[in-house]
Structure 1
Amino acid sequence: MGDAGLIVIAGATATGKSALAIALAEVLDTVILSADSRQVYRGFDIGTAKPTAADQARVRHHLLDICDPTDPLTLGTYQQQAQGLIAEYHAQGITPVLVGGTGLYIRSITQGLRMPDVPPQPDLRAQLRHYGQSQCYQWLQQVDPQAAQRIHPHDQVRTLRALEVYYTTGIPLTQQQQRQPPDYPVWYFVLGGGDRQRIAQRTHQMVAQGWLAEIRRLQAQYGDDLPLLDTLGYREMRQYLRGEISLSEAIELTVRHTQQFAKRQRTWFRQEPNALWVLGTTLEAQMAEILSHLP
């Protein structure tokens, strides 16, 4: 491929990013770096559609299972690890494939987004959690409305991080972000799709694979108040496990909320400069399309 760079495979949830990235990495004899804000956590496997052991046996994956669910990963830490891996592979003349749907993770690499170096503040976080996510999100809307626009109202991890930065430095998170784009070539591809049918099919598949057992195991290990258990899908399935709704209702809510999330993801990726939208609808067509753009 000439000079080593970075291939990005991005897109909304349930668009087939992982399958395409694995096929592409096999053809190019390279590795995959994950850009998923929940797949970094150990134990959150089925509900995050984490690549399986078989997938990881086909192609080497990085940035999966790198921290415990009780130890929230900051964007700065993710960026540091990802950039270190990219540099390591560039030294070997290898162009890695960065794949995922967490736009901010991807942007931190492709645009060199610099985050404020504010370490976790456990006492402050504990105080904020006491007031609940709804109140914290309202505060975030007041002190950093730009951050609130890109953070989902139920995303406690990122809400607390933004408030933590503000209350520690007195300056909104969005005002502290700087950019230092990489000096290597980046080929940025975005997959379309992620329609209701695919989302519903994947949700049913997750349940069949043992998603409910995974949630029970996480509850037993970390407690039901673990913030990550209040994220998309896990939140709805816990409602079923508590007897508040039926399983079919939990699945329907998950599908609906995932559709809404996918819409926000597509909006984010449309704003990314230099991103090429992949038009092919089959894996073979997508592969051909991407390879035609690579040197």
Structure 2
Amino acid sequence: MKKKKTIISIVGETATGKTEAAFQLAESLIEKKACAGVDIISADSRQVYADIPILSGADVPDGFVKKNLPGYLPFLEKGLVRLHGVGILAASEEWSLGQFQEFALKLIDRSEIKNRSVIIVGGTGLYHTQLFQTEDRLRVPPNTELREKAEELSVEELQVWLSQVDPARFERMNESDRANPRRLVRAIEQGFAKDSEKPDAAKIKSYNHKIIGIRRESSQLQQNIGDRVRRRFENGAIEEVEKLRKEPSLASGIETTLGFENIGNFLDGEITADECVRSWTVNELQYAKRQRTWWRPIDKVEWADDVKALNMYTEPIC
């Protein structure tokens, strides 16, 4: 029986060095000639946007150049390493879990044919845990007309709408989800989807999915986050937000990117530069806490306290 291909996910809180770890592991695989190349897939729902590389923290190493392959979204390449899913969308385009799944699985299937290793890295937990799930509703594409109509409705009206479209789904929702307009709209969207809009789940191949978690001491993580926010604020994030606020419409992923609202308040003169950095830093720390809480109960994660510890995972995925 043919051995299943192993797909590595690198997860953890923001500012723990996940991206650095992914590139280090990729170079190690190439040095050992374990594969014909490495595809790194970004599992970050904000770094997909081309207009916010600084705000979203899309830390791409020097030397990568943009490339195109027929039938695939543009990617970045340096030597035998390719980086996918960074800077591929315009500011008005929406991006969902289902779209990520379809995008990533297509790359993974191709990598198996081409003898390339795959590393998935990023802070959006659902992208990792749901990647190989076969539930049809995950892959329902966004419905622009429905979303425009939903923008005019209150949370209470969205709740009523969902209870009519998919009462069972509404009953299963917890209070937090019922109060979240984005999740209500997505559930309505999925409830309206026709069978023809739901890709065949049977086409999803079976892979060995190994999840590696990178973690840092609390004090070090706080320092990393504070330093990173300050760098972004001083090196282009303000200009990114200023430019985007002139656009007629923005994707929800842009408007909810950490730092966007804080910088907007700064540009409006409501807070000082120092207050902006402090409030943005607090938001990032809260996000890190949510990420930590998200991963804590998932037993499948193998935690590494140091980036170099990832070298031990080179052999199993060759």
TM-score between the two structures when normalised by the length of structure 2: 0.75
Report SS of the residue matched to 1:43. Answer: coil
Q: Return the alpha-carbon distance in structure 1 between the equivalents of residues 265 and 283 of structure 2.
A: 14
Greater mean alpha carbon deviation, residues 24-33 or residues 267-276: 267-276
**Equivalent position SS for 2:212:** strand
- Tell me whether 1:202 sits opposite 2:225 in the alignment: no
| 8 Å contact kept, 2:53–2:87 | no
Q: Over residues 97-132 of structure 1, what are the superposed CA-to-partner deviations in whole Å (9 max), with x where a residue is unaligned?
A: 000111111122244554355443323322322346
Is residue 112–residue 182 contact of structure 1 (8 Å, CA) maintained in 2? no
Task: Identify the match of residue 43 of structure 1 among 45, 48, 51.
Answer: 51
- Where does residue 8 of structure 2 map in the other structure? 7
Cα deviation per residue 1:51-99 (whole Å; 9 max; x = unaligned)? 3362635431012223222121122121111001001011122221000
What is the rounded CA distance, in whole Å, between the counterparts of 1:4 and 1:121 in structure 2?
A: 34
Which residue, 227, 231, 252 being the options, matches 2:257?
231
Where do residues 53-202 of structure 1 align in structure 2 (5 Å cutoff)? 54=62, 56=64, 58=78, 59-112=81-134, 114-131=136-153, 143=170, 146=173, 149=176, 158=183, 160-166=185-191, 168=192, 182-193=205-216, 195-202=221-228
Q: Secondary structure at the match of 1:120?
A: coil
Residue type at the aligned position of 2:57 = A
Assess, with a 3 A threshold, how the Cα gap between structure 1 residues 100 and 230 changes in structure 2: closer, same or farther: closer
Of 71-80 and 197-206, deviating more is 71-80
Q: Structure 1 residue 245 and structure 2 residue 271: aligned?
A: yes
Q: Percent same amino acid at aligned positions?
A: 28
Higher helix content, 1 or 2? 1
Q: Alpha-carbon deviation of 1:183?
A: 1.9
Which structure 2 segments of 5+ residues have no match? 31-37, 66-77, 164-168, 194-200
Per mean C-alpha deviation after superposition, the further-off stretch among 28-37 and 51-60 is: 51-60
In the alignment, structure 1 segments of 5+ residues that lack a partner are 170-177
> Which residue identity does 2:243 align to in structure 1?
R
Aligned to 1:260: 286
After superposition, the CA RMSD in angstroms is 3.4
Q: 1:85 and 1:289, CA in 2 relative to 1: closer, same or farther beyond 3 A?
A: same
**1:226 to 1:88, Cα distance in 2 relative to 1, 3 A:** closer
Is contact 2:99-2:141 (8 Å) kept?
A: no
Alignment length (residue pairs): 280
